[in-house]
Chain A
Amino acid sequence: MSSTRFPMAGGRRLVLVRGGLDDAHRDDGGDGGADWQDFCRRIGWQPPGPAPADDFEERLGERLLVAASGARVSGARASGARASGADNVVRIDVARRPAIAPAREGRAGEVSEADFGHGDAEPAPSRWGRLGFAVAMTLAVAAVACFVVAKLVSSNLQTSAASLPELSAHADRQSAVAPSVDRALPVSPSVAPDVRSPHVEEPTAKPAPSARPPRFARPRPPGARVAIRSAEAAQEGRALAARRPAESDLATTDLVKSEDRPVAWGTVARDRVVVPVADSVALAPAPVRVSAGVWSNRGGATGATEPEQARTVGPSWSLSPANARWFGATVTPPLPRGVAPASVGVMAQLDLGKALGRL
């Protein structure tokens, strides 16, 4: 096979002929060409987007580390909560649920509050359980209050005979029983005397200085006005007095008459019903007074200026429907004149509106 024997053969030559696939590859820079791209579209393969940035790997690594650190923090919180055995720890995933998070905007604490409180996804049995707990607590508080009232009543029965002349001074101490109501709702100073009350204020009672009412108001002269502590409160009191007729502002009756003229419970929120209970069996018929603000056995608790003759005797207690949400019961022991002011009191309040609202 040498060129000498076969002069026509010449030197060895290799000829490469490109096939169709190679041509298709070179035309499109290696991505298959139009035919391949059409095939890709037919089977659902999307054409590639723009090339990622030069720092694509760096940014991806940073994002991975950030995501991992966030997961570690949340995992540590969850494990710490489990280790401490806390049951009331806010679960982040629960708090971030869209059912609760969009419901109220604000601080994160409100979200957790929604999770424990009025969440829509809360099962009904737990709400009933909380209601039962609230009712049980209410009954317990009421029982304690009744016990204290009974003790006070029994002590009054023993001491009232000796302290009858002195009890009028105690009526003024009642002004400190519900001071918040006193400040919030001053009433008209007009007072109708309770003519059936057997306990009459001593005529020698000293008039109280009206410039600065003390915490335990001293006896005031008949007709004296209570010093209203702010101009706003005074304006409100005058508006209240002008809104109601004078005869309905403070009505005095006994229990039988009170049935003839029942107090409208729905409209009594700004009225005061004064119901003396202690000593009433032994000493006096029970007068019922309708005034603004509070249920009580004393007008003094409201800061109203009563004639000393109109004051009744007995231990003080009051029910306060002055607020639409809070209903309070207050008890203080009666003490004769000269004894130190009452420093023992029981106050129980129940947010009935809130409790009913949770239903």
Chain B
Amino acid sequence: MMNDLHPLLAAHLQRHARMLYRVACGLGRRSDGEDVVQTLYARWWRRLRDEPGWTLPETHAELFLSVRRVVMDVAAKEKRDRVRDESAAGGAPQADSAEESLHAFERLQWIVGRLPAPFAQALTASLSAGRRDDAAVARELGLTVAAFTARLFKARRAAEELASYYELLPLDQARLMAELRYGGKTRAQVAHELGLLPDELAERARRAVDVLEKRRRAAS
């Protein structure tokens, strides 16, 4: 049966299918992880037919991004269906594990999307490969193990900080704090993009920090 598949696809499936399944589970698709992987390989098969020169992704970071795209599509469809069902039923949103998985995936999306690119790459590669394969991930990223470990440590701190923004702040203040802290821009650039005066931006940032500290104290 496997001989009927595209040879490159069959070899890739033998090498990476289990890892892709694990990534899909990590992104909250434990119930339909096989479907996600199947959808991903079906897309790759179609692309191999259409573009014979195209090569399948091999690194952990690329594979993580590929699975994340499929999960984003599936989650968006589920969200649309859920909104439609709720509007049709006129009831409150359901609080089940699927809903929690959807929220968890949205949180991960929000955090990974605001991390600096090197940090996001190291973190996603590490999540995909598992911590036992740090050496292989370091080789993929062209880093020494020590450099990868240091980058992963910084990425983890940044991700935890962003997670606290996401949890404790309103969404607009969380966006502002993430932009100021990890956006890689000066305050003047951020104020210009938001259409604010520098003083207004500083005032908003100060208020967000106050709310964050207050809630951290309350949480601890």
Contacts and interface: CB of A to CB of B under 8 A. Distances in A.
Q: Mostly helix, strand, loop or mixed at chain B's interface?
A: helix
Contact of B26 (A39, A48, A51): A48
Q: Mostly helix, strand, loop or mixed at chain A's interface?
A: helix
Contact of A65 (B4, B18, B33): B4
A67 B38 contact: yes
Nearest to B109: A44
B89 to A, nearest CB: 16
B104 A44 contact: yes
B13 A49 contact: no
Contact of A46 (B27, B109, B132): B27
Contact of A44 (B42, B106, B149): B106
B156 interface: yes
A350 B195 CA distance: 71
Interface in B5-58: 5, 10, 13-14, 17-18, 21-22, 25-28, 30, 33-34, 37-38, 41-42, 45
A49 B111 contact: no
Interface residues of B, number: 43
B160 A39 contact: yes
In this complex, the interface size class of chain A, counting residues with CB under 8 Å from chain B, is 20 to 34
A58 B34 CA distance: 12
Interface in B119-135: 127, 130-133
B34 A64 contact: no
B131 A60 contact: no
B14 A57 contact: yes
B105 A30 contact: no
Contact of A58 (B2, B26, B30): B2
Interface string A5-36: 00000000000000001001100011110001
Interface of A: 21, 24-25, 29-32, 36, 39-40, 42-49, 51-52, 56-65, 67-68
28 contacts: A25-B131, A29-B132, A30-B130, A30-B131, A32-B130, A36-B131, A42-B159, A42-B160, A43-B107, A43-B163, A44-B28, A44-B106, A44-B108, A44-B111, A45-B27, A45-B104, A45-B127, A48-B25, A49-B25, A52-B21, A56-B18, A57-B18, A58-B2, A60-B37, A61-B10, A64-B42, A65-B5, A68-B42
